[in-house]
Structure 1
């Protein structure tokens, strides 16, 4: 057993109540560290092809909710993550087909969601739904150079920050700082899923435009988050904070990921080591505590949470690349190896429980199927090196 698996697991696991992996922790699974095959570059291509074959609607140009091809499509915010995957596929292999998918997904989601009219509160009624798309729009501009993506990103960011007259006052709390999650339900909660993505969006827009206001906003919201929903002793990220009460310390992989991404982007811009140190602490907590006892990223039951690994992948690769933290690669590759080995061999679909075989007739959601292909598109195979 390699040393990275042992590092900190049993010490920290004894001190922290680990809930994320409880569905694995039934006493029946004994991981074999030697015989699970290592995924290859061919496997990466197969995994992404299968994800699209079974979950992408080529007519509507949007991702379906389930593999049995119902009319329902995946949740609005998750479609931005699938668009990120398409961009990552293109960056990995710059084929005309991969480039076309980027434009097709923009077109299909635009038809589905009010042509990205951020003021349409029938489609866009939660701040973080918009902000995930703002991030992806900015990335699309970085990848393609198409100005329409930057225009959407900037208008979406302003809409979230400042609000819409007669509709809502915006996500930003001008009195106490931080970002509210919603306006529809009372504008009461400040969730990690809006605060850290706001930092990522602002930092990305600063990189593109060099407008200091974006960097100032990124620093401010990151500092509020550090003061309110971050544990500096362990690196864990709270799910939310409501009012002046204590944070809700429910843990989610995607919150760890977006916080890592926020810290890493600010480190990349400022070179201030405190950001890198915090990103490392967050990543270590995810690896050493949340991924215990099997050194595999955890899954969570219930709807939409299967996509958390795909989001985490997007930000961990930035820490690895920007911070030079290649020590995280064995853990992430191990997660991929187990998830891919347990795929449905016929359809090549994976699911969110990486330690359980996917049944041949099992209906798999776009959320659950996304994690392993998303990781594969970003984490290079060791088998081909």
Structure 2
């Protein structure tokens, strides 16, 4: 990414830090759309109606995907689908004309996330093509033992540049490999993701401080600059690999990267950069922080700080458009900056909850009080396969990522299959067996989780209003059903951190 190189909003005050509302996050995204959305494309700037294109447009689309991920709103799913279809029509593969591998990283990241949101097969097809193309040409073990070229050497030298292997090309494409593994189960993507990560960790990441440098050039010289977008992309990459493998090294690295970003790349805790030559600055940090804090259940530690940034974003909006530039601790000027300049602020609000999630948020085991068996996704990655119960073990099939939506319902995602617990056909029948299915965020995939007096939890479906029930079955492979709530131990679940 060439340019990257070079109102009343308070609901409540917690520990002296004002908490934003869901309306604030919605309004910031809506104001962004009002300023820049034209049909099914984003424009280049407020005053330039020409469509934003290629990698820059991909950054715009990632913000729309952030907004869907926060809400699960069907209108935003449609928006993501339309944006990506329009983008593909304007930027069809092959992408051999683009010698920058990080550009293709952003192309494919938007497409891979778009597939997970919409289920549109073509997005997955093109994401796989793009990753395999960029990794195939860019990964080079001849120089510095591996790593992906930022710009292909022939292309770079033709531009009069010194070729380099940089964090942005490696981490963006590493994230794509993780998403492709989640979506396909193809182990080759996971192997490539871990290979990329190992190279970055060895050559660019300081495992003592958490600092990530920009890259290493053709001559083996370190490029020691730091940037919030580099730091955040690495943080999110580490988080994805931790969720996929549960290797504690990735969690530890993610925490170090977050802390370095928080303490060393901010002004008094606020992400801020007034360089108008930048595109985004902290959008990837927003994703990395939000995804890691949620998975690790670290809301007590970081919620107030996330709100501190959100409050500064809201306090420094453009008075005419309601959007905020990259310098979150400074008033946003009413000048015609490019669309991407406002992306980071929108993204940050999508990952900052209005209310601190409870201690069931994160990666959890869910154990039936009556049977002592855990909810298990089983070995099948097929949508519509049954959710079962199984004796306690450390398998990924028993680890569930529990994530809250703005309506305070929860989504339960298997770390083995990346499918969610689903009430099939929106059934209201007692005894209906629960399945796992591709996430759509519909009401039959949303669950209320209410703690009971004995410390256990009632888990009940938003659509059917019926409770998850272990049905007193004690054998491995016993199904999980829904039934009217009776308060029996078979309907009570113990939720513990994995």
Query: What CA distance in whole angstroms lies between the structure 1 residues aligned with 2:271 and 2:293?
Result: 17
Aligned to 1:185, what secondary structure does the other structure show?
Answer: helix
- SS of the counterpart of 1:355? coil
- The secondary structure found in structure 2 opposite 1:308 is coil
Q: How big is each residue's C-alpha offset from its partner over 1:221-261, in whole Å with a ceiling of 9 and x where there is no partner?
A: 11111111111221111111013533211010011011111
Per the normalisation by structure 2, the TM-score is 0.63
Counterpart check, 1:185 vs 2:159: no
Query: Does the Cα contact within 8 Å between 1:118 and 1:159 map onto a contact in 2?
Result: no
Structure 1 segment 63-142 matched on structure 2, within 5 A: 63-68=42-47, 70-74=48-52, 76-113=54-91, 115=92, 117-121=93-97, 124-142=98-116
> Which has the larger Rg?
2
- The 5-angstrom pairing of residues 220-235 of structure 1 reads 220-235=195-210
**TM-score, normalized by length of structure 1?**
0.81
Please state how far the C-alpha of 1:93 moved relative to its aligned partner: 3.3
8 Å contact kept, 1:74–1:367: no
Verify the 8 A CA contact 2:177 2:190 in the aligned structure 1: yes
Report the Cα offset of residue 51 of structure 1.
0.5
Aligned to 2:343: 370
Deviates more, 1:183-192 or 1:139-148: 183-192
1:47 counterpart = 2:28: yes
Q: 1:171 to 1:36 in 2, by over 3 A?
A: same
Instruction: Please give the per-residue CA displacement for 1:284-311, whole angstroms capped at 9, x wherever unaligned.
Output: 011112114x110132514233x12112
Query: 1:49 & 1:158 partners in 2: Cα distance?
Result: 35
Paired with 2:229 and 2:94, the residues of 1 have a C-alpha distance of 24
Deviations 1:146-172 (A, max 9, x none): 21111011111111012xxxxxxx101
Whether contact under 8 Å (2:81, 2:114) holds in the other structure is no
Residue 276 of structure 1 and its aligned partner are, at CA, apart by 0.7
| C-alpha contact (below 8 Å) 2:105/2:172 kept by paired residues | yes
Contact 2:281–2:344 (CA<8 Å) still a contact in 1?
Answer: yes
The 3 A distance-change label for structure 1 pair 86 and 353 is same
Q: Distance in 1 between matches of 2:242 and 2:100?
A: 29
Bigger fraction of residues in helix: 1
CA contact (8 A) 1:264 1:279 kept: yes
Aligned to 1:166: none
**For the Cα contact (< 8 Å) 2:310–2:352, is it kept in 1?**
no
Runs (5+) with no aligned partner, structure 2: 1-13, 357-405, 409-498
Give the secondary-structure state (helix, strand or coil) at the position aligned to 2:327: coil
> How far does residue 139 in structure 1 lie from its aligned partner after superposition?
1.2
Which of 221, 224, 243 matches 2:218?
A: 243
Q: Following the alignment from structure 1 to structure 2, what is the Cα–Cα distance between the partners of residues 344 and 352?
A: 12
Q: What do you get for the CA RMSD once the two structures are aligned? A: 2.3
Match of 1:160 among 134, 137, 143: 134
CA distance in 1, matches of 2:209, 2:231: 12
Quote the Cα distance in structure 1 between the aligned partners of 2:262 and 2:212. 14
The question of 1:313 aligning with 2:313 is answered no
Shift of 1:193: 0.5
Secondary structure, aligned partner of 2:165: strand
Uncovered stretches (5+) of structure 1, i.e. residues with no partner: 1-32, 163-169
Answer with 342-351 or 264-273: which moved more: 342-351
What is the CA–CA distance in structure 1 between the aligned matches of 2:270 and 2:207, rounded to whole Å?
24
Larger RCO: 1 or 2 (CA < 8 Å, sep 6+): 1
Which one has the bigger strand percentage?
2
